[in-house]
A and B are shown apart, each in its own frame.
Chain A
Amino acid sequence: MPETPRPVLDTVDVAAADPTREQPWADLGLKADEYARIREILGRRPTSSELAMYSVMWSEHCSYKSSKVHLKQFSEIPQETPVGKMLAGIGENAGVIDIGQGYAVTFKVESHNHPSYVEPYQGAATGVGGIVRDILAMGARPVAVMDPLRFGPLDADDTHRVLPGIVAGVGGYGNCLGLPNIGGEVVFDATYAGNPLVNALSIGVLRHEDLHLAKASGVGNQVILYGARTGGDGIGGVSILASETFESTGPAKRPSVQVGDPFMEKLLIECTLELFQARVVAGIQDLGGAGLSCATSELASAGDGGMRCSLDRVPLRDSTLSPEEILMSESQERMMAVVEPGDVEAFMAICEKWDVEAVAIGEVTDTGRLEIDWHGERVVDVPPRSVAHDGPTYNRPFARPEWQDALQADGAEKLARPTTGDELRATLLQLIASPNLCDKSWVTDQYDRYVQGNTVLAQPSDSGMIRVDDATNLGVAVSTDCNGRFAKLDPYFGAQLALVESYRNVSTGGATPMAISDCLNFGSPEDPDVMWQFAEACRGLKDACLELGIPVTGGNVSLYNQTGETAILPTPVVAVLGVIEDVTRRTPTGFVAEGERIFQLGSTREELSGSEWAHVVHDHLGGRPPVVDLAAEKALGALLVEAVGVVTSAHDLSDGGLAIALAESALRNGIGAAVAVQGDAFVNLYAESAARAIVTVPEASADALVALAEKHGVPVTPIGRTGGSTLSVEGPNPEARFEVPVDEIRTAWAATLPAALG
């Protein structure tokens, strides 16, 4: 077969000599003014390699160009947790917080939504791989993962295409890394059809002295690329996949999705941790979105300002790749380290031990330029900061949508309600079997939750909890939450509700909330309605963090999540990380013994809009979300932490309200309960007011609990007693009484996913 002649290499000299050449900036996702700006920065047209770098680094995914004016306010929150200053904050690969005893924890949640729609298995798998490398790059050993997932309706055909692949991809990659998957979410809503959300969170643990930052300092230090070889996968994935919405008739985009090799990543983890231990790493960066373009420009701009690399030294899987493609490739399982010349030999020996290929491709300079050569000819000569940090910033127009008032006026409180015992009983069974509330073990049983032997709590507990030190029993807990329906009704309060639910879930386990990471999934920023949702959500999170005294340590924004004109529910997923000094004292979720008292903490209001009841029974979304009372959340959290050892179990009240919390608590260990509610039985059972939880205590501890609740100013109501094999509920109205055998609840709860997915 005759070889296609390769185009003449577009070097810096060629670019200077041929200033008017037509360049495919539009195809690469750049706007005309962005291209003009690049020419202005360089004082000439960019070479094709430079154009490739700018196009990926200035994409929405890498540059946060639409979101950063709103994200900026997170840095107004004091960079301190309840126990002290953050060790690294926003802008690093992941935030790092001090948890005491010389330990620090880093955690972050990121999205991999669009790749997972195109190729579910690989998209989800590489989402896990990417976030784990972010954690590793901070100097931490990854210790757990969690995956908040959102899909279209459970009965939709496309859900049956994407869900099994995404779940298998999350499991296939995470299981092979030896990281326990300890929580996350599985949520179904029609707006995610054609745009599933695959968010991935990882947690890492390090000693304070092991903290590593992404910067290339020290002139003459070597730049070493190690890990997998660079191939043609994921070329342009960042700009093409993350910056456009999917149209039903677009060209196939399969080649843009990266392919993961978890075995290589496992070697990379062990190898990198050994490199840290040997103290031969001066700076480090993982290769994720935008690959080498990102790693070289970010390392250089954060360090002494210069770097020179020879691209032809990059080990390739495909020898025909052009320099542009090598710069854009998103091949997985690669890292870049900056190493002092005297440490290179030791560095290489450790890589050899782990069978990890490593090549010095360049060195740190003080020229203030990022210079990249291809077989001795200069193809890139740019100020690195202009690539990594000086991307465009858009002040996108935003405005409260015209339909928002009508939506909020259409409250669920007016919908027909069940009143008799039979109706309330049927509602319970209908809700517990609904896709969002049913048993998720079809999904979570595909994830290894035990590996590493430090999993103290895992799904379906309120939070995942990991032992950090088995001598002192220090541990951390993490939860991720978001109710997108609340965020649609009011994005400011909806984002706060996501935060306080996650905060509560960490507290119920007995851990003190320390910090948040967020993954902000929204529709197109070019739609002022969506941009308003985004702005409101950011403002809500900032205000809540200020009030609760916890910082945002980092996170991720995913925009353009929409199919045609239909945006997803605004979905600001919030992960809260908490610390617990002694994991052996954690509070479990679910009833643990017969004959214990059950108390409700917090007050119930007639808040039904956006609830699971309105969604499942009436397919209704309208009204205002539950009231957010941050002071009450803070008091409840403090009470739950102080009540460790007094209470025997705790469960937060959220989706589905008290009725579902009771059912889930009974299901956990097959222990029933007899409960009596005051006032309107339906409202008490199904309203989704925030700042509430149920706890159990032995009879002898009841007074102590009440005293603690009073001390914290948290309303406390005795509602019943555990025991038996049925859940029975009665109210002031004798007609509202009903009972359901726990086994009958279990049958309904467990059947849904297997029936739908096989």
Chain B
Amino acid sequence: MKVGVVTFPGSLDDVDARRAVRLGGNEAVALWHRDHDLQGVDAVVLPGGFSYGDYLRCGAISRFSPVMTEVVAAAGKGLPVLGICNGFQILCESHLLPGALIRNDHRKFVCRDQRLRIENNRTPWTSSYAEGAEVTVVLKNGEGSYVADAETLDRLEGEGRVVARYLDGNPNGSLRDIAGITNEAGNVVGLMPHPEHAVEDLCGPGTEGLGFFTGLVERAFA
């Protein structure tokens, strides 16, 4: 599978995401924010970082990048899209996912190893995991508190669209401990923690994040 990783000005985890894509058995394709071109990829990752400095609302400028026009259109046709951290914020700003991410409740940036429960393994990004699997990945954000109105939250819960939930303490004040969600069709996933930093034993808290990048292959050959 060819997986595109978009680089926006200010993207930081694009190199890491490409490495994770490769370690997951896929081909990583670098996509550029100014291009109206997805280069025929089979899936897209919007990586973490501070696109455009995040001086306005996080992700608010990136959603207007030329490449996002293509991502939004392709997502509508079922292209698997994973937004990590800043990528999740961009997906919310693009209205591919409901809700928003606001400043952490403790008002500090936090970087730590974070335990999660995979609540939904029916997306192309989580299909390698058993439902209810508990994994440790990296969490690092300053504006990672997921918020939405009660009705939206109830719908997400009711439709099984909460993809991952924080365990052992909520790191940022996210409502209902939500770490990641998916859209109605299940192809677009937004995740605040960073599975791409947990793909090698050497550099990170183990390899339990790799599953986010292996599911695509397993699904393709299923």
A interface residue numbers (CB < 8 A to B): 168, 171-172, 175-178, 261-264, 266-267, 354-355, 441, 444-456, 467, 470, 583-584
Query: In the bound complex, do residue B108 and residue A450 qualify as a contact, i.e. CB atoms below 8 Å apart?
Result: no
Give 15 A-B pairs besides A175-B140, A451-B13 with Cβ atoms closer than 8 angstroms: A168-B108, A261-B53, A262-B53, A263-B9, A263-B10, A264-B53, A355-B9, A445-B110, A445-B112, A449-B111, A450-B111, A450-B203, A453-B203, A454-B203, A470-B19
Q: Total A-B residue pairs with C-beta atoms closer than 8 Å?
A: 86
Query: In the bound complex, do residue B9 and residue A267 qualify as a contact, i.e. CB atoms below 8 Å apart?
Result: yes
CB distance from B137 to the nearest CB of A (A): 10
CB distance from A528 to the nearest CB of B (A): 44
In the assembled complex, 20 residue pairs joining A and B whose CB atoms fall closer than 8 Å, in A order, are A175-B109, A175-B111, A176-B50, A177-B12, A263-B9, A263-B53, A266-B10, A266-B50, A355-B9, A446-B108, A447-B109, A448-B109, A451-B16, A453-B16, A453-B197, A453-B199, A455-B204, A456-B203, A470-B19, A583-B202
Residues of B close to A470: CB separation below 8 A: 19
Known A446-B108, A450-B138, A450-B140; contact A456-B202, beta-carbon cutoff 8 A: yes
Interface string of B187-210 (1 = CB under 8 A from A): 000000010110110111000000
CB distance from B181 to the nearest CB of A (A): 23
CB distance from B18 to the nearest CB of A (A): 10
Residues of A close to B196: CB separation below 8 A: 453
Known A178-B49, A262-B53, A584-B202; contact A451-B12, beta-carbon cutoff 8 A: yes
CB distance from A361 to the nearest CB of B (A): 24
Most buried by B among A447, A450, A470: A450
Residues of A close to B221: CB separation below 8 A: none
Residues of A close to B12: CB separation below 8 A: 176-178, 266, 451
Measured between alpha carbons, how far is A455 from B112 in the docked complex, in Å? 14
Query: In the bound complex, do residue A448 and residue B203 qualify as a contact, i.e. CB atoms below 8 Å apart?
Result: no
Measured between alpha carbons, how far is A539 from B68 in the docked complex, in Å? 59
Measured CB to CB, the nearest residue on chain B to A447 is B111
Measured CB to CB, the nearest residue on chain A to B17 is A453
B interface residue numbers (CB < 8 A to A): 9-10, 12-13, 15-16, 19, 49-50, 52-55, 108-112, 138, 140, 142, 194, 196-197, 199-200, 202-204
Residues of B close to A175: CB separation below 8 A: 50, 109, 111, 140, 142
Measured CB to CB, the nearest residue on chain B to A171 is B109
CB distance from B192 to the nearest CB of A (A): 14
Known A354-B9, A453-B19; contact A263-B112, beta-carbon cutoff 8 A: no
Residues of A close to B13: CB separation below 8 A: 178, 451
Measured between alpha carbons, how far is A448 from B85 in the docked complex, in Å? 13
Query: In the bound complex, do residue B53 and residue A453 qualify as a contact, i.e. CB atoms below 8 Å apart?
Result: no
Closest 9 A/B residue pairs (Cβ): A263-B53, A178-B12, A453-B16, A450-B197, A176-B50, A446-B109, A450-B138, A448-B140, A448-B111
- The 8 Å CB contact of A467, one of B9, B52, B202, is B202
Measured CB to CB, the nearest residue on chain B to A176 is B50
CB distance from A405 to the nearest CB of B (A): 47
Measured between alpha carbons, how far is A223 from B115 in the docked complex, in Å? 52
Residues of A close to B199: CB separation below 8 A: 453
Residues of A close to B110: CB separation below 8 A: 445-446
- The 8 Å CB contact of B15, one of A261, A266, A452, is A452
Measured between alpha carbons, how far is A450 from B197 in the docked complex, in Å? 7
Measured CB to CB, the nearest residue on chain B to A453 is B16
- The 8 Å CB contact of A453, one of B10, B112, B142, B204, is B204
Measured between alpha carbons, how far is A176 from B203 in the docked complex, in Å? 20
CB distance from B108 to the nearest CB of A (A): 6
CB distance from A129 to the nearest CB of B (A): 13
Query: In the bound complex, do residue A262 and residue B16 qualify as a contact, i.e. CB atoms below 8 Å apart?
Result: no
Most buried by A among B9, B13, B194, B196: B9
Measured between alpha carbons, how far is A675 from B55 in the docked complex, in Å? 54
Measured between alpha carbons, how far is A261 from B55 in the docked complex, in Å? 10
Measured CB to CB, the nearest residue on chain A to B198 is A450
Measured between alpha carbons, how far is A168 from B55 in the docked complex, in Å? 16
- The 8 Å CB contact of A263, one of B16, B52, B194, is B52
Measured between alpha carbons, how far is A266 from B53 in the docked complex, in Å? 9
Query: In the bound complex, do residue B52 and residue A445 qualify as a contact, i.e. CB atoms below 8 Å apart?
Result: no
Measured CB to CB, the nearest residue on chain A to B199 is A453
Measured between alpha carbons, how far is A595 from B145 in the docked complex, in Å? 43
Residues of B close to A446: CB separation below 8 A: 108-111
Measured CB to CB, the nearest residue on chain B to A451 is B12
- The 8 Å CB contact of B204, one of A264, A447, A450, A583, is A450
Measured between alpha carbons, how far is A113 from B51 in the docked complex, in Å? 30
Query: In the bound complex, do residue A450 and residue B194 qualify as a contact, i.e. CB atoms below 8 Å apart?
Result: yes
Query: In the bound complex, do residue A263 and residue B140 qualify as a contact, i.e. CB atoms below 8 Å apart?
Result: no
